[in-house]
């Protein structure tokens, strides 16, 4: 199956010790920094912003995995694509023309992704799958960390994987929301190749950060060897 990529959700990070977080992530070959951008309109929350991303980029070489949960995505996508090499995902419902938004992201030398909300069937945006580098399957309704997984979303990962196999689509499948010790096996068995690790795995308060990273890696070994 190959290496499953880890993308810790930075809205869950210890904001008073970000350098320590980033140093540890780099020492442990963490693949991405998941950056949740929320505008208080598309989702009822405000989280990280462009200056946070600039600080991350100025200090760490780890690529950004920017998840845009914003109403006016075509305005914001131009700004967040300043971080070349980032993986930038958006909810297709937030633009009239998702194909054009994908083209903008790619033109700015970023990887393009679309996020499939919990209530959206995977068929709804199937025309976009051949155009993107990754698809983000939401397993919680977007807007907050610390929510409980919606079990019916687990099967959507498998439906997407099966659709990709049947149609020879090579996009990565990223899963976002309550990626926990209990849910990781099912998510990976269903086809996840990238995990957003938030409050119920890497940032689980019951563990030291390094212990939590090691525990995730240990859990994934059996799948990566398969």
Least distance from ligand DX5 to the Cβ atom of residue 199, Å: 3
Considering only 36, 39, 174, 204, the residue that binds Zn ion (CB under 5 A) is 36
Binding mask 116-155 for ligand DX5 (x = CB under 6 A): ------------------------x-xxxxxx--------
In the annotation, is 14 catalytic? no
**Active-site choice (162, 176, 204, 214):** 176
List the end-to-end C-alpha distance of the chain, in Å, as a whole number: 6
Binder among 137, 196, 213, 220 for ligand DX5 (CB under 6 A):
196
Query: Is 166 exposed, middle or buried, given 0-12, 13-18 or 19+ CB atoms closer than 10 A?
Result: exposed
Selection from ligand DX5, Zn ion, none that 145 binds (CB < 5 to 8 A by kind) is ligand DX5
How many Cα atoms sit within 13 Å of 89 on the Cβ side?
A: 28
**Residue 33 near ligand DX5 by CB under 6 A:** no
Q: Is position 176 annotated as part of the catalytic site? A: yes
Q: Quick one: which of 163, 121, 117, 173 has its CA closest to 2?
A: 173
Q: How far apart are CA 219 and CA 89, in angstroms?
A: 26
């Amino acid at each position: 199956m190959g290496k499953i990529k880890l993308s810790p959700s930075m809205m869950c990070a210890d904001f008073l010790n970000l350098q320590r977080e980033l140093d540890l992530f780099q020492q442990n070959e963490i693949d991405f920094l998941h950056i949740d951008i929320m505008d208080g309109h598309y989702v009822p929350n405000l989280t990280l912003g462009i200056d946070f991303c600039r600080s991350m980029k100025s200090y760490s070489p780890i690529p950004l995995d920017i998840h845009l949960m914003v109403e006016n995505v075509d305005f914001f996508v131009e700004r967040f694509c300043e971080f070349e090499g980032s993986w930038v995902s958006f909810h297709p419902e937030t633009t009239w023309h998702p194909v054009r938004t994908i083209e903008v992201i790619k033109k700015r030398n970023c990887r393009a992704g679309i996020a499939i909300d919990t209530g959206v069937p995977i068929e709804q945006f199937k025309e976009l799958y051949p155009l993107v580098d990754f698809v983000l399957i939401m397993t919680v309704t977007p807007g907050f960390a610390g929510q409980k997984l919606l079990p019916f979303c687990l099967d959507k990962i498998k439906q997407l994987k099966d659709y990709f196999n049947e149609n020879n689509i090579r996009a990565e499948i990223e899963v976002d929301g309550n990626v926990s010790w209990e849910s990781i096996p099912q998510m990976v068995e269903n086809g996840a190749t990238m995990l957003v690790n938030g409050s119920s795995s890497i940032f689980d308060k019951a563990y030291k950060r390094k212990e939590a990273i090691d525990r995730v890696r240990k859990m994934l070994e059996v799948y990566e060897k398969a």
